[in-house]
């Protein structure tokens, strides 16, 4: 089947015509006879009861959504849960990887050299930049982070992975929506083979798009009328550029700049106000490289980031930093993409290097969150993930204690929090 692709077509637009047919009583499938074979029986699906029960329910739901029976049977035939997905979904690392370790592993001289060479090897990049506004260095940074320039795309069966996630239940609505999107991709012949391949969570291709994102944001970057994010680097990069544009990418602006902070700086401003460069200069934050701001960057609202606390590098993050986070909602990821992009165009090292940081155990992170909650500061869910809400709570507590309010959870902060929580318990 020829793999034609409707640009910017979302999931609803793709399945709506077929779904309309499913409403016809003459076409809608009859319910299984009481006591008769279930869809899982007929499909030869195997697995524990939780999986086959889910499959029987989802099979009927997918038919009602308009998925052709022949496609559904082909995609789900012989299906069983993938135990690797169960392990990934349930796992949380015992020790949190410090952002300094993450950045040193992600932003390497070798990766920068490869990315710099790629800048001039893909002739379509100029047209992609002009169409979507995102510069090639950022796109190549995304490409590097997502699949090591297309080399590591994942070889797991996407339908099986998503079915396992749906059956496990924690992310059922999301996984079922992605399955319906995957069926649409298969029905329209967009897949590069008889089955979709990707990561354990269903991300696919050189820029690791989940099925619904591929349908909504995938575009043809090489002009052959097909969006093949698996085998075509221009298609993958154009699709990433389209996603960034929809995520708010502002053409002509940078993503962030390293800043140095004056003695006595109010660290509690981190992850707080969004203000232009001259406002930050008055607070004591100056560009670390001493260069002037461009006119557009100077006017853009910047938010201060202290990823490693007061002892590490500080960044004034511009709106494009947060557009990168629409691709992957992680400060570390967005910083890595940006730092790689700077390196591809000849940017140098940071003025303030990444410090050596201690990894915190899951027990320590949970204890810190519990202590903050006990002391009257809301850290969000007690899940061991030190995200924006937990950092805000930590900053508020640090400020009340007369400590540098950088929101950085160090072993010393964990010990202080534990001791104070015991004292007031």
| DSSP code, position 386 | -
| DSSP code, position 169 | S
Helices (H) and strands (E) counted in the chain, each on its own, are: 20, 8
The two three-digit tokens of residue 405, written as one number: 């309010």
- pTM for the whole structure: 0.89
Using alpha carbons only, what angle is made at residue 322 by residues 320 and 324, rounded to the nearest 5 degrees? 75
Q: Which domains does the chain have, with CATH numbers?
A: 256-344 (1.10.530.10), 360-423 (1.10.101)
Using alpha carbons only, what angle is made at residue 13 by residues 207 and 239, rounded to the nearest 5 degrees? 20
Q: Give the whole-angstrom CA distance, residue 84 versus residue 154.
A: 13
The two three-digit tokens of residue 272, written as one number: 């707080």
Strand, coil or helix: what is 76? helix
b/e string for 213-236 if b means 16 or more Cβ within 10 A?
A: bbbbbbbbbbeeebbbbbebbbbb
Please give the full DSSP string across 93-162, using - where no structure is assigned: -SEEPPHHHHHHHHS-HHHHHHHHHHTTT-TTHHHHHHHH---HHHHHHHHHHHHTTTT----EEHHHHH
pLDDT tens digit at each of 425 positions of the chain: 333 333 333 333 333 333 333 334 334 445 555 567 999 999 999 999 999 999 999 999 999 999 999 999 999 999 999 999 999 988 877 878 999 999 999 999 999 999 999 999 999 999 999 999 999 999 999 999 999 999 999 999 999 999 999 999 999 999 999 999 999 999 999 988 888 999 999 999 999 999 999 999 999 999 999 999 999 999 999 999 999 999 999 999 999 999 999 999 999 999 999 999 999 999 999 999 999 999 999 999 999 999 999 999 999 999 999 999 999 999 999 999 999 999 999 998 999 999 999 999 999 999 999 999 999 999 999 999 999 999 999 999 999 999 999 999 999 999 999 998 888 76
Asked whether the CA dihedral 309, 311, 312, 317 is positive or negative, the reply is positive
Q: Give the whole-angstrom CA distance, residue 419 versus residue 404.
A: 18
**Per 3-state DSSP, what percentage of the chain is helix, strand, and coil (rounded to 5)?**
50, 5, 45
């Amino acid at each position: 089947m020829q793999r034609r692709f409707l640009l910017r077509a979302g999931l609803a637009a793709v399945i709506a015509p077929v779904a309309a047919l499913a409403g016809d009583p003459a076409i809608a499938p009859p319910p299984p006879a009481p006591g008769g074979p279930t869809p899982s029986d007929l499909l030869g699906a195997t697995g524990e009861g939780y999986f086959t029960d889910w499959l029987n329910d989802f099979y009927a739901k997918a038919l009602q959504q308009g998925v052709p029976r022949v496609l559904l049977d082909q995609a789900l035939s012989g299906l069983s849960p993938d135990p690797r997905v169960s392990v990934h979904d349930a796992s949380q690392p015992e020790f949190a990887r410090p952002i300094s370790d993450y950045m040193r592993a992600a932003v390497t001289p070798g990766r920068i050299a490869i990315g710099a060479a790629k800048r001039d090897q893909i002739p379509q990049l100029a047209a992609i930049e002009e169409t979507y506004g995102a510069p090639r260095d950022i796109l190549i940074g995304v490409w590097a982070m997502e699949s090591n320039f297309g080399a590591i795309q994942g070889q797991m069966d996407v339908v099986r992975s998503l079915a396992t996630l749906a059956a496990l239940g924690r992310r059922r609505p999301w996984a079922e929506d992605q399955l319906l999107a995957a069926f649409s991709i298969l029905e329209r012949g967009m897949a590069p083979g008889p089955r979709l391949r990707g990561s354990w969570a269903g991300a696919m291709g050189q820029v690791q798009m989940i099925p619904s994102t591929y349908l909504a944001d995938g575009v043809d970057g090489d002009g052959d009328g097909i969006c093949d994010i698996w085998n075509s680097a221009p298609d993958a990069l154009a699709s990433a550029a389209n996603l960034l544009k929809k995520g708010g990418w502002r053409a002509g602006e940078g993503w962030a700049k390293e800043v140095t902070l004056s003695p006595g700086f109010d660290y509690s401003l981190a992850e707080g106000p969004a203000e232009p460069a001259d406002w930050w200069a008055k607070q004591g934050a100056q560009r670390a490289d001493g260069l002037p701001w461009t006119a557009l960057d100077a006017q853009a609202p910047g938010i201060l980031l202290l990823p490693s606390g007061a002892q590490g590098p500080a960044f004034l993050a511009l709106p494009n930093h947060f557009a990168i986070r629409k691709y992957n909602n992680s400060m570390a990821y967005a910083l890595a993409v940006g730092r790689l992009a700077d390196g591809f165009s000849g940017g140098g090292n940071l003025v303030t290097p990444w410090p050596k940081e201690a990894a915190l155990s899951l027990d320590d992170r949970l204890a810190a969150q519990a202590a903050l909650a006990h002391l009257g500061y809301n850290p969000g869910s007690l899940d061991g993930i030190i995200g924006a809400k937990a950092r805000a709570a930590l900053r508020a507590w640090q400020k009340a204690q007369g400590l540098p309010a950088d929101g950085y959870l160090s072993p010393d902060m964990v010990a202080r929090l534990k001791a104070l929580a015991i004292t007031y318990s």
